Copies of this chain bind each other. A is one copy, B any other.
Amino acid sequence: MRILVLGGDGYLGWPTALHLSRRGHDVGVVDNFVRRQYDFEMGVDSLVPIVHLQQRVRVWEQVSGLAVTPFVGDLTDPAFVSRIITEFDPEAVVHFAEQRSAPYSMIDRAHCVYTQVNNVVGTLNVLYAIAEHNPAIHLVKLGTMGEYGTPNIDIEEGFIEITHKGRTDVLPYPKQPGSFYHLSKVHDSHNIQFACRIWGLRATDLNQGVVYGQETDETTMHRDLATRFDYDGVFGTVLNRFCVQAVIGHPLTVYGKGGQTRGMLDIRDTVACVELALLHPAAEGEFRVFNQFTESFSVKQMADMVAECYPGAVRIEHMEDPRVEKEEHYYRAAHTKLLDLGLVPHLLEASTIRSLLAVVDRHRDRVDPVAIAPTVQWRKTASAVRASAAMPGA
């Protein structure tokens, strides 16, 4: 299958591109490197060193004998999007190319507007390019479980049957996202569903949980194929951050009570899920939603697991939650559709955490401890936040 991976230089986009390439697909990757740019802005770095996209692609060809075609450009540029869709002529587009940090979107007005415009306009341009070039192209779009928030009823996969005053309909599941970033994904979902309805497009919205891990079967084939590993207060995700804190002897910082429960998955399941969605495309005009995670854990549970697995002493510390979120809540979310397609999950076991701790240990000299603390406060908006954001860890 000819597959274009948008955001193919990122944390998950790159491993997905390699996985699809090794599975025999003809892969193009598209990126504008803003993710690397955010590192300069924030003064932080991936824990694991990563090489340039052009070098990654060369090494992949040497190691695997397989070609991956890179395209450099910005999805908010409609001429660029139209050109790559026409030139590469894909059967499917996998869309990772969005600003994906909740704290980054909450830094201040400018970062909020940037996140929503970048994500929403990029996706609109992709929808138009597909509709105009070839409406049969299957769009596999990365959404997030965070679109749903934490309702007091079970979360379903995208839609819910509602019986109300004696009548029944199946409607889009109500969304209660928790940041301007999560909101941008909700906006995307609505836009994509509408495009499927009016133009007959085919789309799969992968509402993904929080991903942990850094290694896949492909990225470990050569040092230069490594993907990034973020542990900082803005782009780092919780389990990765706890592992870094354990290794450098920093207390594991749990925001609030730690009862915040989220769907999680192993990076190896991300790449598998994307291929499963591609191999079983949506029908013409269909907008479908898969909840892409394998297990749910609370933040406190994850801290406890890391503390148990780490050979040394680990302290767990609760700090004021910088976000506005329920610290204890009901959480039960359906995630059967990808299992039905054949997903065999890598569940979170002690061995997974130990291998993650080993990755961190290999690069422990690169850890910047001041980068870990959260610098963005949901409840504040103004200049105070801008000042601290300009100096992460200040």
Contact = CB atoms under 8 A, between A and B. Distances in A.
A186 B190 contact: yes
A174 interface: yes
A125 interface: yes
B151 A169 contact: yes
Contacts of A257: none
Question: How many A residues are at the interface, by size bracket?
Answer: 35 or more
A162 B160 contact: yes
A376 to B, nearest CB: 12
Interface string A212-239: 0000000000000000000000000000
Nearest to A164: B153
Contacts of A153: 162-165, 167-169, 171
Interface string A112-135: 110011001100110010011000
Copies in the complex: 2
A382 interface: yes
B109 A113 contact: no
Contact of A124 (B109, B131, B151, B176): B109
A167 B151 CA distance: 10
A173 B175 contact: no
Interface string A169-212: 10111111111100100110011001001110000000000000
Interface string A123-153: 0110010011000000000000000000111
A154 interface: yes
A78 B386 CA distance: 15
A175 to B, nearest CB: 7
A330 B132 contact: no
A130 to B, nearest CB: 10
A323 to B, nearest CB: 9
23 contacts: A113-B124, A116-B120, A116-B187, A117-B120, A124-B180, A131-B381, A132-B381, A151-B169, A152-B169, A153-B164, A153-B167, A153-B168, A153-B171, A160-B164, A160-B174, A172-B174, A177-B190, A178-B194, A180-B194, A183-B190, A183-B194, A197-B324, A199-B379
Given A131-B382, A151-B171, 11 more contacts: A116-B120, A116-B124, A116-B191, A151-B169, A153-B167, A172-B175, A175-B190, A183-B194, A187-B190, A197-B324, A198-B324
Top 3 closest pairs, chain A to chain B, by CB: A171-B174, A152-B169, A109-B128
